Amino acid sequence: MSRHFFGDTTVLLGRSMKHVTRSADTVITTAMMPVAMMLMFVYVFGGAIDTGAVSSVNYMLPGILLITIASGVAYTALRLFTDMKSGIFERFQSLPIARSGVLWAHVLTSLAANLISLVIVMGVALLMGFRSSAGVLTWLAVGGILLLFTLALTWLAVIPGLSAKSVDGASAFSYPLIFLPFLSSAFVPTGTMPGPVRAFAENQPVTSIVNAIRDLFTQQPVGVDLWIALAWCSGLLVVAYVFAMITYGRRISR
């Protein structure tokens, strides 16, 4: 059974990846908006934001990486929506393949596309002066957090991709996710925010994820933020996966 699933998913992944390689501009577009934001925050607003002893680009980068992922998963919802409308899912149902492999192919494609976008953003950040003395294990820890965050948001993207009524509806879900880092510690210290906004910022997932990544990059002791970040990502992943599979089951049973 597992061989059947992995074999089918691999074949479907190849199909999905071809769509990405044929429209590489979508990956570039996904990276360009976060890069533009990083340039603006560092070179335009950088002097007005108190980043302490940390350079502006080092301070801003964790939030920019999360925005990159949020932008990228919108295309996952769009690709799923396109497949649903084209009738390809009905054709897959008539074949002796693992049904969950169809979704996993899109999810793995999202991971690959987001990885490319993150590499582009990191490359620009290095050109802008980003530096970290973090070791290999620390970089792996940062990569693990970003991977978990990408998986969680990708499975979340599957839900509107399967249930949206229009192209705009399929991708619009990502707008709040892109906006969320602006109400966190990603770009300004939460202590400078008004009371209600500060309370929200300090208790939403992006703040703990940003703080954990920032501490890892700067080699600061990682406190409870790391565990809160992992709990948020893991919890969101489980919930999104369950609802995505329920939504998928309802769509293919029609």
Q: pLDDT tens-digit profile of 152-206? A: 999 999 888 888 788 777 777 778 888 899 999 888 888 888 889 999 999 999 9
For residue 214, the model assigns a pLDDT of 92
For residue 2, the model assigns a pLDDT of 46
User: Taking the CA atoms of the chain, what radius of gyration do you get in angstroms?
Assistant: 19
User: pLDDT tens digits, residue range 110-126?
Assistant: 888 888 889 999 999 99
Give residue 235's pLDDT band: very low, low, confident or very high (50, 70, 90).
very high
Closest listed residue to residue 145, CA positions, set 199, 205, 190: 205
For residue 128, the model assigns a pLDDT of 92
More confident residue, 1 or 215: 215
Sequence-distant (6+) residues with CB within 8 A of 240 are: 152, 153, 155, 156, 158, 159
- Rounded to two decimals, the pTM is 0.87
b/e 108-119 (16+ beta carbons within 10 angstroms → b): bbbbebbbbbbe
Mean pLDDT of 13-38: 72
User: pLDDT tens digits, residue range 208-231?
Assistant: 999 999 999 988 888 888 999 999
Residue 244 has pLDDT above 70, yes or no: yes
Mean pLDDT of 79-103: 67
**Secondary structure (H, E, C), 51-75:** CCCCCHHHHHHHHHHHHHHHHHHHH
| Mean pLDDT rounded to a whole number for the chain | 83
Give residue 1's pLDDT band: very low, low, confident or very high (50, 70, 90).
very low
Find the farthest-apart pair of alpha carbons in the chain and give their distance in angstroms, rounded: 60
Using CA atoms, how far apart are residues 193 and 38, in angstroms rounded to an integer? 21
